[in-house]
Amino acid sequence: MFKFRRTRSNGSPSPPTSPHVTTSAVNRIGTSSSVVTGTPLRLHADRFFDPDPAIRRVARELYAETRELPLVCPHGHVDSAILADNSPFPEPTALLIIPDHYIFRMLYSRGVRMEDLGIPTRDGTAVESDPRIIWQRVADHWYLFRGTPSGVWLAHELHEVFGIRERLDGESAQRIYDEIAEKLRSPEFLPRTLFEQFRIEMLATTDAAADPLIHHNAIRASGWSYGRHRVIPTFRPDALLRIALPAWTAELRALESASGTTIRSCETFLSAIAERRRYFASLGATATDHAVVEPYTAELTPEESERLFQRARNGDATADDQRCFEGHMLMEMARLSTEDGLVMQLHPGAFRDHNESVYERFGTDKGADIPIVTEYTRNLRPLLNRYGNDPRFSMVLFTLDESTSSRELAPLAGHYPALRLGPPWWFHDSIEGMRRYHEQVSETAGIYNTAGFNDDTRAFCSIPARHDLARRVDANWLGGLVTRHIIEMDDAREMARALAVDLARETYRFPMPAA
Ligand SMILES: [Zn+2]
């Protein structure tokens, strides 16, 4: 295969720092910078800003005011066990590569086998198990990430969190591996220490409805005074609503044992769910999360919902039954939200496991989820008519279909008091995706009908990188509004802060920190 790898220059290495290199608060944790022997890794102080000097000047000023703000993380997928155990992170490959489907899907798309990247198979067949070989393979292909958000995030992570000062490529791979591995063994890199150094104000994880939340309980019971009340679960009952899937019966059993009830009717099913929601809230949860293929909502009569529930119990539910049941249950989840105050997040529009053979061999979440056309206006009308005007209800809506942003989502959020738009999600959580989001949404809905930023990541060490990118893109967008005299600088300052922290706190009903 033709390679685009960098040929290493033999000139004398540049100094590890230059006026263009930033040193963030994260990097104050005592990481000594590495000696540069490869191509220097530089983070330009003005990265992602418009080259127009007028916009750039304002963007710099706004970013300077938000860069040090705490990180509010109301939606993400960090494993709560890492903070409960506070054990050292494993070696670099297990930390940075194996769990990240953004990384291995790109390599897979260029012909690297998943087995060679150490992705575990469903049947337990052996895959590459030497983390250094996997790391080398990824580094050999790192050029694939040029101009992508993954490339931007990892550069930030390496530079700011791990103090790496040379670029990752095939030649530098083993040195960088050694340097990260050594740091991971030091107390400064324990998960809780990093959590504090990142200045995470709140971190919500995403948890299945029947999850006993043992790690959340352990964190609350621990002596970790900084983080004890900052790590919270999110209630995600998707699997319980997918009644046509063979796994549904096991999900129902899990709900029964978690709630200590026998569930024979749709009514007891719903009360068990309501009870789980209360349990999650008792451990700090402020939100639920729902992933559906389409945001279809429609209320069924009690007889109809009971009939579908019984078909599911008998293993007879069809895909069509599931669609009706999910549509009904979303209505029920909104109703429960009006009672228990949990904010309802809706994430539609992903065609999961598009690649059959990858699914057969490796299972879900392997980078084979592809966005589909999504319709919101008609699908959500029943739910919004019933609950969209209710001051107790709050819904955060996400999309993978950008064509709906200006046509449907911004007008809906610009009307219904209960509705907020989630930040650009997944494939759109990028420099250009965020810019397009502001273009498509912010004029009609205004930023105050959005939920601010969330990082939506399972990669703990990438959290600061993702917030930094968002703050820079927001500062730049606001810089454009100021220089075109659409808004004044004092408005822009407040908007930058709102986008960075306040909107997320308010939307997710987090406590406002004392001034
Ligand atoms: Zn998510």
CA 384–ligand 1 middle distance (angstroms): 22
- Report the alpha-carbon angle 140-189-93, nearest 5: 25
CA 419–ligand 1 middle distance (angstroms): 18
Structural contact between residues 479 and 50, judged by C-beta atoms closer than 8 angstroms? yes
Q: Domain residues of the chain, as ranges? A: 89-189, 198-507
3-state secondary structure of 125: coil
Structural contact between residues 156 and 22, judged by C-beta atoms closer than 8 angstroms? no
CA 125–ligand 1 middle distance (angstroms): 29
CA 76–ligand 1 middle distance (angstroms): 5
Q: Which residue has the tokens 């992705």?
A: 119
Long-range contacts of 223-231 (CB under 8 A, 24+ apart): 224/86, 224/192, 226/192, 226/195, 226/196, 227/83, 227/192, 227/195, 227/196, 227/200, 229/284, 230/195, 230/200, 230/201, 230/202, 230/203, 231/80, 231/83, 231/203, 231/205, 231/284
Class of domain 89-189: mainly alpha
CA 460–ligand 1 middle distance (angstroms): 13
CA 473–ligand 1 middle distance (angstroms): 21
| pLDDT tens-digit profile, the chain (515 residues) | 444 555 444 433 343 334 344 444 344 444 455 566 789 999 999 999 999 999 999 999 999 999 999 999 999 999 999 999 999 999 999 999 887 888 989 999 999 999 999 999 999 999 999 999 999 999 999 999 999 999 999 999 999 999 999 999 999 999 999 999 999 999 999 999 999 999 999 999 999 999 999 999 999 999 999 999 999 999 999 999 999 999 999 999 999 999 999 999 999 999 999 999 999 999 999 999 999 999 999 999 999 999 999 999 999 999 999 999 999 999 999 999 999 999 999 999 999 999 999 999 999 889 899 999 999 999 999 999 999 999 999 999 999 999 999 999 999 999 999 999 999 999 999 999 999 999 999 999 999 999 999 999 999 999 999 999 999 999 999 999 999 999 999 999 999 999 999 999 999 999 888 76
Could you tell me how many residues make up the chain?
Answer: 515
pLDDT of res. 335: 98
CA 35–ligand 1 middle distance (angstroms): 37
Say if residue 214 is exposed, middle or buried (CB neighbours under 10 Å; 0-12, 13-18, 19+).
Answer: exposed
For residue 462, give both structure tokens. 């990438």
CA 122–ligand 1 middle distance (angstroms): 23
CA 4–ligand 1 middle distance (angstroms): 33
3-state secondary structure of 203: strand
CA 217–ligand 1 middle distance (angstroms): 22
3-state secondary structure of 346: strand
For residue 244, give both structure tokens. 């046509």
What DSSP designation does 40 have? B
pLDDT of res. 2: 44
CA 77–ligand 1 middle distance (angstroms): 6
CA 194–ligand 1 middle distance (angstroms): 22
pLDDT of res. 291: 96
CA 508–ligand 1 middle distance (angstroms): 15
CA 95–ligand 1 middle distance (angstroms): 19
CA 345–ligand 1 middle distance (angstroms): 10
Structural contact between residues 449 and 413, judged by C-beta atoms closer than 8 angstroms? yes
CA 174–ligand 1 middle distance (angstroms): 32
pLDDT of res. 514: 77
pLDDT of res. 252: 98
Structural contact between residues 448 and 465, judged by C-beta atoms closer than 8 angstroms? no
Domains 89-189 and 198-507 equal at CATH topology level = no
Out of 3.20.20.140, 3.90.70.10, 3.40.50.720, 3.40.50.1010, select the CATH number for domain 198-507: 3.20.20.140
